[in-house]
Structure 1
Amino acid sequence: MLNFQLIEGGLAMEQPRWLDDEEQRTWRSFLLASRLLFDRVEQGLKQDADLSFAYYEILTRLSQAPGHSMRMVDLAAACVFDRSRLSHAIDRLVRQRWVRRTPSPSDGRGQLAELTEEGVEKVRQAARGHVDQVRSLMFDRLTREQQAALREISEVLATGMVDPPKLTSMGWPSQ
């Protein structure tokens, strides 16, 4: 965050708090590892199941929801999508016959996204290779202690960017 200070003749911005060499290495390592991981996961899903990671995330969230159905607003929060992006994605998944939209019985204006039988099959088809790849790229390379440290760091980063109640709506695991 940049701070302002008063100087003769007006306001001036202070210099940013530049990253030191160790912070720069940490930031660059994090970026590289994150990008490589998500690129490989995306490639694997496209190659094995002809599915993008975003669509896989939607289908997986629906497959784990009670009745394979979620309110669109809750699904958007869980996938960290804005409503417009989710709506476009759901339209594509409806055309593939993997998802259907239904009116929300509890809210006349709301809609549910519901996984179809074809969608259940698609998620099953993609899941095995995806989980094997995630295990190979991440968990098999880390000790249990490193996994715990990564989870703790990720939780600190996430809770610093989003209020805890919103994290719950995103499907944040309970402690």
Structure 2
Amino acid sequence: MDGRRAANGLSIAQIGILAALYPAVWGAGQMLTGWWSDHIGRKHLITAGMLLQAAAIALVGAGTTFGVWATAQVLLGVGTALVYPTLLAVIGDVAHPAWRARAVGVYRLWRDGGFAVGALLAGVLADAFSLTTAIWAIAALTAASGLVVAVRMYETHPRT
């Protein structure tokens, strides 16, 4: 390592670790959470996952050290592992097999479109105010999504 440092004094190696933590935890975790949602239902895992993601994003906004950001990335990975396979399972629960593939496509269109709109919104907020403001806004939107799920979604999978 050549000793170069980025913002907040992080090394290139630390930045690499932070970048790897989230997908590693998400990927490994969803093997458990997909199975878990088949046993306890979908709604509560999605709600908990969205709220955990919101808290993790807020922790990124509040943090200034490697340890805080590493914790946030692990929590974000757990939250995403709770949400990602479970939302797809909801489609399997409610969509007739004849139109299930189309339903997944529509879900992905809206989900991926949300990523694009969210990135644009974050960019506008970061330019107009600050990067921290953008992060907090995304945390608030994610928390609002979790609360909407808690209030509006019905359980799609009977408990076994």
Superposition TM-score tier, normalisation by shorter sequence: under 0.3
More strand by share: 1
Query: Which protein has the larger Cα radius of gyration, Structure 1 or Structure 2?
Result: 1
More helix by share: 2
**TM-score between both structures, scaled by the size of structure 1:** 0.25
**TM-score between both structures, scaled by the size of structure 2:** 0.26
Bigger relative contact order (CA 8 A; separation at least 6): 2
